[in-house]
Amino acid sequence: MSMRRTDCEGFHRRDVLTIGSAGVLGLSLPAILAAEAKAANKRDVASTGKAKSVILLWLAGGPATIDMWDNKPDAPEGIRGEFKSIPTNVTGIQLAETFSKTAQVADKLTVVRSLYHTIPSHSPATVFMTTGNKPTAALQYPSMGSLASKLLKTDVGVPPYVTFGDIRNGTAGLAGYLGTGYNPFVIEGSAPQRGEGKAATGGFSVRGLSLKGTFTLEELEKRDSLLRKFDSGFAGADSSNDLVDGLDTFHQQALDILRSDKTRKALDLTAETAATREKYGATPFGQGALAARRLVEAGVRFSTVSFGGWDTHSQTFTAHKTRLAPTTDTVVSALVSDLADRGLLDSTIVMVAGEFGRTPKVNKNSGRDHWARSMACVLAGGGFKKGYVHGSTDASGMAPATEPVTPDDVASTIFRNLGIDPALELQTPTGRPIQLFREGKVIEKILA
């Protein structure tokens, strides 16, 4: 980074507004005003870098990855779970038998078996995994999605970063020190029920980005023309006010978005064939993942789709068999193969992870408790190796045995594949320079 004092020289606020680099959804006003928001500083994903988008399949509650991606059928009694391992379509890679569909797309995955951290508590662990920075009391780190929304270019009319529902009741997945402008757009509602076109009921929408019921576009235009008649006097009184000007820019953008049907069309799952919808499974997780794929096609940079219920302190194996594994197996395999079939996998990163793993030792309730010292996660697509297992845990799964990596490293590698230097410095509101991922190192061995 060069000497800071030269950064702003010769740059006038109003120029930025009129240049219209503000055409990006989710920017905050100061970001538009600040010289930092110069469009040139944003990476043009179309021209360089392998990956353009990320879909995070978030397994909330802490999945027992020892019963999934790092199954240990040969471990001692009391540690090994109830599941056998099965071969996959890659010689030498085995997964738990509950993931038979995922086993058929293993040739497209990188399985990281040596991930670990040290925080066995849901909230801070969620922050760690979703930000790539160890949480501290002194600073709120931005989520990877918020960083993507700050650093990657996004087309007008499309939200850069969306989450299907909130993560941890809206306490994670947020913009932290970047400011509210980089928070995710929240997708509400549920997948449409069976039926085609108008016969379908329900449906996804982005909160604030869509009109509903009797409030039609026509109605909006009518109200807006009335609004124009009341809004000019105030603005005219102080014609050189950045804030007043900035709000008008946002108003124009809001109208552009509401008039555009890009996002609405992307979220209309009835445009998919019944076969595709069935492939993802008739679950909120599956239909969310399908919608996320459609959003990637529309230009969304980062989508998080959550699937909860992994906090299995008791009856881990029953929960996996009946509920967790079948859904996850279906969704992961469907998403990865669908992206591959459409030629999107090379430009889309899929990450499947939760906040921590679970104790290798099975407790007295046939459950597993929180365990952060070893866990596995699955990465696929944009810039990652295909059909590859990275690292290993020891015989009882307690800790990484080879190639230990941390959440910071995973985040760094993802951003490296998005074409963004993980050591890039941003400034906190107090002016402190801070690297994207302070302790992260790119995991070279999993790069394609």
Partner 1 sequence: MLARRYLYALVAAIVAPGATYADEVKLPTGGSIKEVDFERHIMGLLSKVGCNAGSCHGSFQGKNGFRLSLFGYEPAMDYANLTRDNLGRRVNTQKPDESLLLQKATGSTYHDGGMRFGKDGWVYNVFREWIRSGAKWTRDSGEIKSLDVTPGDFALLKDAKPLQVTVKATFADGSVEDITPFCDFKITDDAVAALSPLGLLTPRQPGDAGLTVLYRGSVKAIRVLVPAPAKPGAYPAVSEVNYIDREVFAKLKMMNVVPSELSSDEMFLRRLYIDALAQLPTPDEVREFLKDKDAKKREKAIDKVLAHPLHAAVWATKLSDITGNNTQALEQPVNLQPKRSQMWHDWLRKRVADNVPYDQMVRDILTATSRDGLSPEEWIAFVKKIDEQTAKGPKTDYPNKQTLDLFWRRQQQVPAEQWSEKVAAAFMGVRLECAQCHKHPTDRWTQDEYWAFANVFTKMTFVQNQFSSPDVKKLVDAENAARRDAAPKANNNNNILLVRELFVGAQARPRPNPGTNSVPLPRALGGEVIKISPTEDPRVPLAKWLTAPENPFFAKSFVNRVWGHYFGVGLVNPIDDFSLANPPTNARLLDALAADFVKSGFDLRKLERTILLSRTYQLSYVPNDTNKFDKNNYSHAYIRPLMAEQVVDVLNAALGVDENFTGADAEFAGMKMVEVGSSRLVSSVSYALRIFGRPPRTTACDCERAMEPALPQTLFRMTDQNVLLKFNSATGRVRKMALSKATNEEIVEEAFLATLSRMPKELEKADAVEHLKTAKTRAEGVTDLVWALVNTREFILNH
Nearest-angstrom CA–CA distance, 350 and 231? 45
The interface with partner 1 within residues 234-253 (CB under 8 A) comprises 234-235, 237-238, 240-241, 243-244, 246-248, 250-251, 253
Minimum CB distance to partner 1 smaller for 18 or for 89: 18
Should residue 440 be labelled a site residue for partner 1 when binding is judged by CB under 8 A?
no
Nearest-angstrom CA–CA distance, 403 and 420? 24
Should residue 12 be labelled a site residue for partner 1 when binding is judged by CB under 8 A?
yes
Nearest-angstrom CA–CA distance, 207 and 217? 16
Among 41, 118, 180, 402, binds partner 1 (CB under 8 A): 180
Number of residues that bind partner 1 (CB under 8 A): 71
In the shown chain, the binding pattern of residues 132 to 151 toward partner 1, with x for contact by CB under 8 A and - for none, equals -----xxxx-----------
Cβ neighbors of 4 (< 8 A, separation 6 or more) are: none
User: What single DSSP character describes residue 143?
Assistant: P
- Cβ at position 444, least distance to partner 1 in Å: 18
Backbone angles phi, psi at 140, to 5 degrees: -95, 110
The interface with partner 1 within residues 66-125 (CB under 8 A) comprises 123
Interior/surface letters 280-315, b for 16+ CB within 10 angstroms, e for the rest: bbebbbbbbbbbbbbbbebbbbbbbbbbeebbbbee
- In this structure, are strands 302-307 and 161-164 parallel, antiparallel, or unpaired? parallel
Nearest-angstrom CA–CA distance, 106 and 332? 10
Among 47, 91, 169, 273, binds partner 1 (CB under 8 A): 169
- Cβ at position 34, least distance to partner 1 in Å: 10
Give the range of 63-71, 166-174, 328-336, 409-417 binding partner 1 by CB under 8 A.
Answer: 166-174
- Cβ at position 123, least distance to partner 1 in Å: 7
- In this structure, are strands 203-206 and 185-190 parallel, antiparallel, or unpaired? antiparallel
Among 209, 325, 340, 443, binds partner 1 (CB under 8 A): 209
Among 65, 110, 210, 333, binds partner 1 (CB under 8 A): 210
Should residue 426 be labelled a site residue for partner 1 when binding is judged by CB under 8 A?
no
Among 20, 170, 195, 309, binds partner 1 (CB under 8 A): 170
Give the range of 175-183, 270-278, 316-324, 325-333 binding partner 1 by CB under 8 A.
Answer: 175-183
Nearest-angstrom CA–CA distance, 53 and 345? 10
Nearest-angstrom CA–CA distance, 114 and 400? 5
What letter represents residue 83's amino acid? F
- Count of CB atoms situated within 10 Å of the CB of 198: 7
Minimum CB distance to partner 1 smaller for 240 or for 273: 240
- Cβ at position 427, least distance to partner 1 in Å: 11
In terms of Cα–Cα distance, which of 347, 395, 353 is closest to 375?
353
The interface with partner 1 within residues 406-425 (CB under 8 A) comprises 425
H-run or E-run covering 130: helix 122-131
In terms of Cα–Cα distance, which of 82, 72, 93, 85 is closest to 321?
82
Give the range of 38-46, 302-310, 372-380, 427-435 binding partner 1 by CB under 8 A.
Answer: 427-435
Give the range of 224-232, 271-279, 290-298, 395-403 binding partner 1 by CB under 8 A.
Answer: 224-232
User: What single DSSP character describes residue 26?
Assistant: T
Minimum CB distance to partner 1 smaller for 185 or for 317: 185
In the shown chain, the binding pattern of residues 248 to 277 toward partner 1, with x for contact by CB under 8 A and - for none, equals x-xx-xx--xx-------------------
